[in-house]
């Protein structure tokens, strides 16, 4: 956890003191998808970079691999499909507040609820901030086809750069893919260039619009098989998520 906490501290130093969740602007998503196709095509020829977005070596690969090791993944879903509780996250891979959730809350939820079979997590990739989001989102969609999305997403957050600075290069994405255990990188690169990758982003945005999601990160939670409700955590630390999941599991506070 020390690594994740150090990462969070570095990110906090570059942000405003007053924090608000990133508001969505979904109208430009399809245009951004088109604009980034050329970059996606170039990924397959990019070499493996020795550095991540920050200019340092890739962070968190070993911790991330351990976090998800042995937990089933099915496309965008992490954990047992019929776990009693479902938590859906709407996020952008460039969103700094989504990064906060990934660093602060996610490890606890995975350890205490997903690994135990009590909750499953679903990731909806909105990719609305800009071309870097779309480039990463298409690759994330490709990793979902191999049931490795959560590994890629976690590594992206642990090595997140400044929004829309062009840091999501072919070599950056290739480096993240190479660090995902068990991933067929060549197949993922090919899939990231396919229409299905664009379709996955479009579907996620349509889902968000349909349920009234207007910011990232946003969350839906509920019992499996039942109606999901919006969860509005007071902080992006484990506490509000633990409280909500325990309430659904009917655990005493």
Confidence of residue 174 (pLDDT cuts 50, 70, 90): very high
In the chain, count of helices (H) and strands (E)? 11, 8
Q: How confident is the model at residue 44 (pLDDT cuts 50, 70, 90)?
A: very low
- Work out the pLDDT band at 57, boundaries 50, 70, 90: confident
Sorted by where each begins, the domain ranges of the chain are 2-16+23-248
Distance, CA of 211 to CA of 217 (rounded, Å): 14
Rounded Cα gap, residues 176 and 8, in angstroms: 19
Domain 2-16+23-248: assigned CATH number: 3.40.30.10
CA dihedral 21, 145, 204, 192 (to 10 degrees): 80
Distance of alpha carbon 4 from alpha carbon 52, whole angstroms: 15
Q: Cα-Cα-Cα-Cα dihedral of 201, 206, 209, 211, to 10°?
A: -110
Question: What pLDDT digit, counting tens, does each position of 179-238 carry?
Answer: 999 999 999 999 999 999 999 999 999 999 999 998 999 999 999 999 999 999 999 999
The pLDDT, as a whole number, for residue 251 is: 73
pLDDT over 70 at 154, yes or no: yes
In the three-class reduction of DSSP (H, G, I as helix; E, B as strand; rest coil), residue 51 is classed as coil
């Amino acid at each position: 956890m020390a690594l994740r906490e150090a990462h969070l501290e570095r990110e906090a130093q570059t942000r405003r003191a007053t924090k608000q969740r990133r508001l969505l602007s979904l109208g430009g998503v399809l245009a951004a998808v088109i604009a980034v196709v050329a970059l996606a095509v170039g990924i397959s020829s990019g070499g493996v970079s020795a550095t991540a977005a920050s200019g340092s070596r890739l962070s968190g690969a070993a911790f991330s691999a351990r976090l998800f090791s042995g937990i089933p993944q099915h496309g965008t879903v992490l954990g047992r499909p019929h776990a009693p509780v479902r938590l859906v996250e709407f996020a952008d891979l460039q969103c700094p507040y989504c990064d906060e959730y990934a660093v602060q809350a996610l490890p606890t939820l995975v350890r205490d609820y997903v690994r135990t079979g009590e909750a499953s997590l679903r990731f909806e990739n909105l990719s609305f901030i800009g071309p870097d989001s779309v480039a990463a989102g298409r690759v994330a969609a490709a990793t979902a086809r191999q049931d490795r999305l959560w590994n890629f997403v976690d590594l992206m957050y642990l090595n997140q750069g400044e929004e829309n600075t062009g840091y999501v290069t072919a070599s950056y994405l290739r480096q993240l893919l190479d660090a995902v255990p068990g991933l067929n990188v060549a197949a993922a690169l090919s899939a990231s260039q396919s229409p299905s990758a664009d379709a996955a982003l479009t579907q996620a945005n349509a889902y968000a619009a349909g349920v009234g999601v207007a910011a990232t990160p946003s969350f839906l939670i509920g019992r499996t098989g039942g109606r999901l409700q919006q969860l509005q955590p007071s902080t992006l630390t484990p506490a509000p998520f633990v409280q909500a999941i325990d309430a659904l599991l009917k655990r005493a506070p």
